[in-house]
């Protein structure tokens, strides 16, 4: 029973900081997307494609969350308006970014010059579902090699998502992934979710994702 209380307190403290983040972001009209997936599903690749395609349309900053290393931040560096790397370390409680980490990352960002912050969360489908960061939208990426059963195995992260991306569509001829079954599981958990099918490698389907993102920013956080 004690342990359950401790977890409850951690989550409540996180929610308090997350709403503080949200107020700060809304004050500066910065739109934030929390991108979550298993390792290797294509979070960094999606961010890189989005930066390339929306260049000149939106000023985008990136927060990179990883247990260790700066390899993803280095890939994004130079293409984004600002990049902040967060290393959570190899602790049991560091399997997700937490609102306090985002709060300190935002302090290093020129918020008045930024339209969007893309947050790459730590790669797993469990912990990031529990911790809100103050983001406006939550996006989950599933890729074809992972199999089509992930919404059944990890329902919470899919149930809370605003958009689900099916990535690596270029591999469809080579893997057993039933797109219709996957989409059925996702909409069963989350009837209003947007689902995109794309390949960050070939670029197919990226326009749909980018127009959705532009539309979200236009309706929710337009600066100009
Ligand atoms: Mg990555």
Neighbours of 186 (CB within 10 A): 24
Distance 3 CA to ligand 1 centre (A): 32
pLDDT of residue 9: 87
pLDDT of residue 49: 97
Distance 120 CA to ligand 1 centre (A): 7
Distance 173 CA to ligand 1 centre (A): 25
Nearest by Cα to 43 from 66, 77, 69: 66
Residues having C-beta closer than 5 Å to ion ligand 1? 43-44, 72
Distance 20 CA to ligand 1 centre (A): 27
Distance 202 CA to ligand 1 centre (A): 18
Neighbours of 199 (CB within 10 A): 21
pLDDT of residue 205: 98
pLDDT of residue 212: 97
SS3 state of residue 121: coil
pLDDT of residue 3: 64
Distance 135 CA to ligand 1 centre (A): 19
Per DSSP, the residues of 21-73 read HHHHHHHTT-EEEEEEESTTSSHHHHHHHHHHHTTTT--EEEEEEESS-SHHH
CATH numbers and ranges of domains, the chain: 2-223 (3.40.50.300)
Neighbours of 67 (CB within 10 A): 15
Distance 195 CA to ligand 1 centre (A): 21
pLDDT of residue 6: 78
Instruction: Give pLDDT < 50 ranges for the chain.
Output: none
pLDDT of residue 223: 62
pLDDT of residue 2: 63
pLDDT of residue 69: 86
């Amino acid at each position: 029973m004690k342990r359950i209380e401790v977890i409850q307190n951690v989550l409540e403290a996180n929610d308090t900081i997350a709403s503080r983040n949200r107020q700060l972001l809304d004050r500066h009209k910065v739109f934030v997307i929390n991108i979550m997936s298993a390792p290797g599903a294509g979070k960094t690749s999606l961010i890189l494609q989005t930066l390339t395609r929306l260049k000149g349309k939106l000023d985008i900053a990136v927060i990179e969350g990883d247990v260790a290393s700066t390899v993803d931040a280095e890939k994004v560096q130079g293409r984004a308006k600002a990049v902040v790397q967060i290393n959570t370390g190899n602790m049991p409680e560091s399997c997700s970014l937490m609102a306090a980490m985002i709060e300190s990352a935002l302090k290093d960002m020129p918020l008045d010059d930024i339209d969007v912050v893309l947050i790459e969360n730590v790669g797993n489908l469990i912990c990031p579902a529990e911790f809100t960061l103050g983001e406006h939208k939550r996006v989950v990426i599933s890729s074809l090699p992972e199999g089509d059963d992930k919404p059944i195995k990890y329902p919470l992260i899919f149930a809370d998502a605003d958009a689900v991306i099916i990535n690596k569509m270029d591999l469809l001829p080579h893997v057993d992934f039933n797109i219709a079954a996957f989409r059925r599981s996702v909409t069963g958990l989350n009837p209003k979710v947007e689902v995109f099918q794309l390949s960050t490698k070939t670029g197919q389907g990226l326009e749909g994702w980018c127009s959705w993102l532009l539309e979200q920013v236009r309706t929710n956080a337009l600066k100009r």
